[in-house]
Amino acid sequence: MNQKNNINSEQRESLDRNELDLLDVIFQLWQGKWIIIAAMVIALAAAGVHLATKKPQWKSTAILTQPDAAQMAYYSGILNQLFIAGKSGNGNNSDQAPPVQFSPVFLQQNMFSRFSATLASPNSSNASITLLDKTSSFPISVSVTADSASHAQAQLSGFIQQVNTKMVDDYQAEIQGTIREKIDELAASLLAQQKMAVQRNEHRLEVIRYALKIAEASNLSRSQLTQAENLSDDTLYLLGSDALSAMIANQSNKPLVLDSDYYVTQAQLLAISQLKPDAGNLQPFTYIAEPDLPAAPVSARKSVMLLLAAIIGGVLGSAIVLGRNVATAYSQRKREE
């Protein structure tokens, strides 16, 4: 019981000391109020001088949204043609609908997203990007601040055009690369089909030679058939050695028998080889409002700056007062020792 009373007594003494310390700090600040006020006045004066001498800033703003679907239709058609190319030759349905990622709507979203990301990249400019609709990625507001109205407008226009040119060049290079890859793929497919046709021709020649051997061994020089509609490789010898010898002699001059897929692939290769993407038909955005010429400079938040200056001055003044008192108390203790 005595121990508990001692603990409570110590806690009360600690609270009393804290209250005395806080009151002492308040008393010290009150005594040094003129120093604090002087620090606040100096800070306010410095802020006022800064506001008075600061050059006015002008802000030009443009509002951008997704490109028109008509702008994307041209490249959508090219990509769809590249997607369909080679499909029918692989046993797929040539009438299969193209994937949704090549639709004009997807290209609108994809191009504008890439454009917005480039605008907002840290190394692009001092432009400020703002979403006007928090639930969607478009439209966006792009702003640039400069030391004059015309400079701000020109800087914003040039910045948007620079990003547009880079994106168009990159996108066209990507499509050109895809076209080259597809041309190489179709050319390789044609070569493979030609090799398969040559192999089929050589196999047919071997079959005829084998049938000739059987016909000669059987002393069959003339055909034993009245019709040869359902003649198989195993019964080919029934044509007789004379007919088989003539077939062998003329087999090398016989045109290669190519599948219909070969000619489909050939037509696709010709069509893709003639694709010439025109960058003039591409723009990854549409202006809702072009860069404007600001009519008035951007107004500085004078009240906020003055309030912050007053707070900073008060904090610095309080620090000076408390620091001075601590130094005085420390010096006095040293003298007493």
Q: List the CATH number of the domain containing 241.
A: 3.30.1890.10
Mean pLDDT on 314-327:
78
> Is the predicted pLDDT of residue 94 greater than 50, yes or no?
no
Is 5 within a domain?
no
Q: Tokens at residue 291, please?
A: 């860069």
Q: What is the pLDDT of residues 196-208, one digit of tens each?
A: 988 888 888 888 8
> Is the predicted pLDDT of residue 98 greater than 70, yes or no?
no
CB 62 within 8 A of CB 141: yes
pTM over 0.75: no
> Is the predicted pLDDT of residue 77 greater than 80, yes or no?
no
> Is the predicted pLDDT of residue 237 greater than 80, yes or no?
no
pLDDT of residue 336: 66
| Closest listed residue to residue 65, CA positions, set 156, 127, 131, 124 | 131
Mean pLDDT on 211-219:
83
Domain count for the chain, please give it. Answer: 1
Is 249 within a domain?
yes
Residue ranges making up the domain that contains 116: 55-299
| Closest listed residue to residue 138, CA positions, set 292, 281, 283, 286 | 286
Is 336 within a domain?
no
Is 292 within a domain?
yes
DSSP secondary structure code for residue 147 in this structure: S
pLDDT of residue 123: 60
DSSP secondary structure code for residue 128 in this structure: E
Buried/exposed code over 162-186 (b: 16+ C-beta within 10 A; e: otherwise): ebbeebbeebeeebeebbeebbebb
Is 326 within a domain?
no
DSSP bridge partners of 140:
64, 131
Is 35 within a domain?
no
Mean pLDDT on 226-235:
69
Q: What is the pLDDT of residues 242-284, one digit of tens each?
A: 887 888 888 767 777 788 888 888 888 888 888 777 766 678 8
Is 310 within a domain?
no
CB 258 within 8 A of CB 230: no
Q: Tokens at residue 285, please?
A: 């955005």
Is 7 within a domain?
no
Look at 321 and 213; give whichever has higher pLDDT.
213
Which segment, 160-169, 229-238, 299-308, 309-318, is predicted with the most confidence on average?
160-169
CB 91 within 8 A of CB 106: no
Q: What is the pLDDT of residues 27-73, one digit of tens each?
A: 777 777 788 788 888 877 777 776 666 677 788 899 998 888 777 77
Number of Cβ atoms within 10 Å of the Cβ of 136: 11
Q: How confident is the model at residue 191 (pLDDT cuts 50, 70, 90)?
A: very high
> Is the predicted pLDDT of residue 3 greater than 50, yes or no?
no
